[in-house]
Each structure stands twice: as structure tokens, then as C-alpha cells.
């Protein structure tokens, strides 16, 4: 006999959706025979994890073939929820309704190890957005990437102000993205005030927001008291149309960001000279210039533990490549060096090729996907010498 109860009303089926929702990417959890939405005709395909107390309330109105199953379902859902959620370090969600945001807010305190939260397109009222941000305050988040917030007028500033309140004392957040979240000068000023005290944030993005000269001026003032922020983005926003890069406020921001980057690199370089444990370092797209790369290159000459270094997307040219080449002549531990999406030309390749004749440990040198695997067709002859040296080092490592 066919089950006349709709899928979303069956206790066991609701539990199956919850178990699937505990995955790290929301779009991975699919409803097997969900009902179509009355207005759009779209089938429900996503589910935000529900905390056990909320799930118990759902079960009170759900249908079971055997009512005694309710207790087993509740117990099993609680076990799976805590097992999956407490271990989760990365969570990506999209297309969240107000109801989804409320459910997520209730679940967030249980994500005790969450480091990265990424949400693309979400909707919320003022109280819901504030509660959501407050739920983030106790998490060990390193990256908070929120894009396309929708809600009543001013909702972007509500988000920014709530976030500013927790940023003041947060000790782990290093990257925040509020692109296309309708943040205006009000929100920018709140965040600017938080930046004066925050000591961990290095990257803040406002793409597609509504910040103009007044908001930028507030951020410029705040940056004079901030020692950690190294990247601040406004591209594709009204800022690009009403405030030119030559403006005084922007110059102050740029100078402060540059000073912070230089200080960060100096500290990192000093740590690399003496560090005895770090095997891998990823600095891709970090925004370093020629001077910063040269400082790092000098430190590499003294480092004895780093084996994998990613310097992709740093706009490294021939001058910086020559500095890295000098480091490779002396470094005896680095085995992988990533230099993709840079601007290294003929002289940079020559310097690296010459340096590798004195290096016995580097086995992988990645410039671009287009070149990787097609060494013999590289436009610079120096690459053939690099390829031969890397091959010899790999063979020697295999025999050791």
C-alpha cells in the first residue's frame, strides 16, 4: 500500500534530511521526493542543520508508521548531529531564507571547531541578522565570507554593526567578506571603529557595497590605529565611481596597509629564520610587493624546516625571482615552490635555472598550469635546465 503521507511529513524522512544537512556543503544534501514550491515550482533541495531541541519539536507533529520509532529517531538524529557538527571545520551554505537563517543560528553554537563559514545569498530581518552574528562570537572562526544579504532597507548596516561589536574582541578572525551585502557609510563607520581595537583581521572586502567618500574617510582614520589589516577591497562599488585612487583618504589607507604588510613580513621572516617546526606556508595572493618578497627570500636562506612554500599570485617579477634564486642556492629543505600567476620573465627564469644547479632538494617548481606537464615546450630555454635539475633531484630523492 502506498504511503499517503507526504515526504516532508514522515518522521524518518525528516531525519534523513537532517543527517544529510550535516555535510559541509549545503548543496550536497538532496531531498529524494520533496514537494514542489507552490509559487516557483522548484523542488526543495537544501536543508540547514537543525539543533536537537528544534528537531524534537518537529517530531511532535510528524507521522510514523510505528509511533514508538519517534524516540529512536530523536536519539539517532542527536547522535549524528553532534558527531558531524562538532567536528566540522568548513561550512558552505547558499540561498538561505529567513527560516534557514534562524535554524542555522540555533545550530551554530554547536560548531565548536568551525574555522570557515561561507554563505552566498541569504535573507534576514534585523533581529535575525543580529542573533546570527552574535552566535558567531564564540566560534573559532578564521574566515567569515558573507555575500548578497537581502532584507529590509538598512539590513547591510545592521550586519556590519553587529559584526563590528564582536570584531572588537574576536581573537581568531583574519578574513571577512561582506561583498554585495548593501553595507553603506553607517556600516563602514561601525567597522572602522572596531578596526581600531581588532588585532587579528588581515583582509576585509566590500565589493559591490554602497560606501563613498565619508565611509572611506572613517576607515582611513581607523587605519592609523590598526597594525594588522593588510588588504582592504572596494572594487566594483560606488567607491570606484565617486572616489578615485588619488584621493587623500585612499592614499592614507594605502600607506597604512603597506606599512602593515611590511611589518607582517618582517615578523614572518624573523620567525622563519628561527622556526623549527613549520613544514608548509601558503602566502598565495597575499599582496606582497618586491621588497616583501626579498625579505622572505633572505629568511629562506636560514630556514631549515619549510618544505612547501606557495607564493602564487603575488605579482612576482624578475627582480623578486632573482632574490628567490639566491635563497635556493643556500636552502637545503624546500622541496615544493609554487610561483603560479606571477610575472616572471626571461631573466627570472635564468636566475632560477642557475640557482638550481646548486640545489639538491627542490623537486617541484610550479609556474602555471599551462606550463606544468609541458616543460619541453616552455618559451624560455632556461626552463629546460630547470626541468632537468628538478628531475635529477626527484630521482635522487627516490633513491635515498
Q: Is residue 107 part of a domain?
A: yes
Say yes or no to pLDDT of 292 above 50: yes
Q: Do 306 and 178 share a domain, yes or no?
A: no
Beta bridge partners of 3: none
Residue located via cell numbers 539590513: 155
Q: What is the dihedral of CA 139, 144, 150, 151, to 10 degrees?
A: 40
Q: Is residue 367 part of a domain?
A: yes
| Residue 121 contacts residue 147 (beta carbons within 8 Å) | yes
Full-model pTM: 0.74
Q: Is residue 80 part of a domain?
A: yes
Q: Do 299 and 347 share a domain, yes or no?
A: yes
Say yes or no to pLDDT of 301 above 50: yes
Domain membership of residue 368 as a residue range: 275-399
User: Which pLDDT tens digit goes with each residue over 336-382?
Assistant: 999 988 888 889 999 999 999 999 999 999 886 444 334 444 556 88
Please give the pLDDT value at position 19. Answer: 57
**Among 90, 88, 159, CA closest to 122:** 159
Q: Do 202 and 301 share a domain, yes or no?
A: no
Residue located via cell numbers 626527484: 394
Q: Do 78 and 212 share a domain, yes or no?
A: yes
Say yes or no to pLDDT of 130 above 60: yes
Q: Is residue 135 part of a domain?
A: yes
Sign of the dihedral through C-alpha 225, 175, 172, 286: negative
Residue 125: band (very low, low, confident or very high) from pLDDT cuts 50, 70, 90: very high
Q: Do 73 and 196 share a domain, yes or no?
A: yes
107 by Cβ neighbours in 10 Å (0-12 / 13-18 / 19+) ranks as: buried
Q: Do 214 and 151 share a domain, yes or no?
A: yes
Say yes or no to pLDDT of 54 above 80: no
Q: How far is CA 342 from CA 254, 331, 369, in A?
A: 22, 22, 12
Q: Do 102 and 218 share a domain, yes or no?
A: yes
Instruction: Name the more confident of 394 and 346.
Output: 394
Instruction: Name the more confident of 202 and 82.
Output: 202
Q: Which of 195, 228, 260 is the last residue of a domain?
A: 260
The SS3 of residue 101 is helix
Distance CA 354, CA 364 (A): 16
**Among 321, 328, 384, 332, CA closest to 356:** 328
Residues 6 or more apart whose Cβ sits within 8 Å of residue 236: 207, 208
User: Which pLDDT tens digit goes with each residue over 14-38?
Assistant: 666 665 665 555 444 433 333 333 3
Q: Do 296 and 185 share a domain, yes or no?
A: no
Total number of domains in the chain: 2
Which whole number is the average pLDDT over 236-245?
Answer: 42
Longest Cα–Cα distance of the chain, Å, equals 78
Q: Do 211 and 345 share a domain, yes or no?
A: no
User: Which pLDDT tens digit goes with each residue over 328-343?
Assistant: 999 999 999 999 888 8
Q: How far is CA 28 from CA 79, 117, 170, 372, in A?
A: 20, 16, 31, 32
Q: Do 215 and 252 share a domain, yes or no?
A: yes
R_g over Cα of the chain: 26
Grid cell in block for residue 289: 610587493
Please give the pLDDT value at position 188. Answer: 95
Q: Is residue 330 part of a domain?
A: yes
Please give the pLDDT value at position 68. Answer: 61
Q: Do 60 and 180 share a domain, yes or no?
A: yes
Q: Is residue 268 part of a domain?
A: no
Residue 189: band (very low, low, confident or very high) from pLDDT cuts 50, 70, 90: very high
Distance CA 16, CA 81 (A): 12
- CATH number assigned to the domain comprising residue 131: 3.80.10.10
Highest mean pLDDT among 2-16, 42-56, 175-189, 261-275: 175-189
Q: Do 279 and 230 share a domain, yes or no?
A: no
Q: Is residue 269 part of a domain?
A: no
Q: Is residue 266 part of a domain?
A: no
Residue 169 has phi, psi (to 5 degrees) of -120, 5
Amino acid at each position: 500500500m502506498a504511503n499517503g503521507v507526504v515526504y516532508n511529513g514522515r518522521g524518518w524522512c525528516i531525519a534523513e534530511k537532517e543527517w544529510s544537512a550535516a555535510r559541509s556543503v549545503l548543496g550536497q544534501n538532496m531531498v529524494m521526493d520533496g514537494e514542489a514550491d507552490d509559487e516557483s515550482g522548484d523542488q526543495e533541495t537544501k536543508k540547514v542543520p537543525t539543533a536537537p531541541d528544534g528537531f524534537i519539536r518537529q517530531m511532535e507533529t510528524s507521522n510514523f508508521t510505528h509511533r514508538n520509532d519517534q524516540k529512536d529517531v530523536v536519539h539517532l538524529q542527536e547522535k549524528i548531529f553532534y558527531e558531524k557538527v562538532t567536528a566540522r571545520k568548513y561550512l558552505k551554505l547558499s540561498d538561505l531564507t529567513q527560516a534557514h537563517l534562524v535554524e542555522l543560528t540555533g545550530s551554530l553554537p554547536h560548531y565548536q571547531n568551525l574555522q570557515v563559514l561561507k554563505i552566498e545569498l541569504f535573507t534576514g530581518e534585523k533581529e535575525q541578522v543580529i542573533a546570527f552574528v552574535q552566535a558567531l562570537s564564540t566560534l573559532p572562526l578564521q574566515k567569515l565570507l558573507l555575500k548578497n544579504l537581502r532584507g529590509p532597507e538598512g539590513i547591510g548596516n545592521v550586519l556590519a554593526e553587529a559584526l563590528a561589536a564582536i570584531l572588537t574582541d574576536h581573537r581568531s578572525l583574519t578574513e571577512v567578506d561582506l561583498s554585495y551585502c548593501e553595507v553603506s557609510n553607517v556600516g563602514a563607520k561601525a567597522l572602522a571603529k572596531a578596526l581600531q581595537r581588532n588585532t587579528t583581521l588581515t583582509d576585509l572586502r566590500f565589493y559591490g557595497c554602497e560606501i563613498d567618500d565619508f565611509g572611506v574617510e572613517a576607515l582611513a582614520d581607523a587605519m592609523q590605529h590598526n597594525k594588522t589589516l593588510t588588504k582592504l577591497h572596494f572594487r566594483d562599488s560606488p567607491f570606484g565611481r565617486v572616489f578615485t585612487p588619488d584621493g587623500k583618504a585612499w592614499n592614507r589607507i594605502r600607506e597604512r596597509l603597506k606599512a602593515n604588510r611590511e611589518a607582517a613580513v618582517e615578523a614572518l621572516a624573523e620567525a622563519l629564520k628561527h622556526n623549527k617546526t613549520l613544514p608548509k606556508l601558503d602566502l598565495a595572493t597575499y599582496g606582497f610587493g618586491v621588497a616583501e618578497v626579498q625579505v622572505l627570500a633572505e629568511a629562506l636562506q636560514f630556514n631549515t624546516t619549510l618544505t612547501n612554500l606557495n607564493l602564487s599570485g603575488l605579482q612576482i617579477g624578475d627582480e623578486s625571482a632573482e632574490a628567490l634564486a639566491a635563497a635556493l642556492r643556500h636552502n637545503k629543505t624546500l622541496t615544493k615552490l609554487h610561483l603560479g600567476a606571477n610575472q616572471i620573465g626571461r631573466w627570472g627564469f635564468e636566475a632560477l635555472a642557475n640557482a638550481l644547479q646548486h640545489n639538491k632538494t627542490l623537486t617541484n617548481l610550479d609556474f602555471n598550469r599551462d606550463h606544468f606537464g609541458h616543460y619541453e615546450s616552455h618559451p624560455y630555454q632556461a626552463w629546460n635546465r630547470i626541468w632537468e635539475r628538478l628531475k635529477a633531484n626527484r630521482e635522487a630523492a627516490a633513491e635515498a
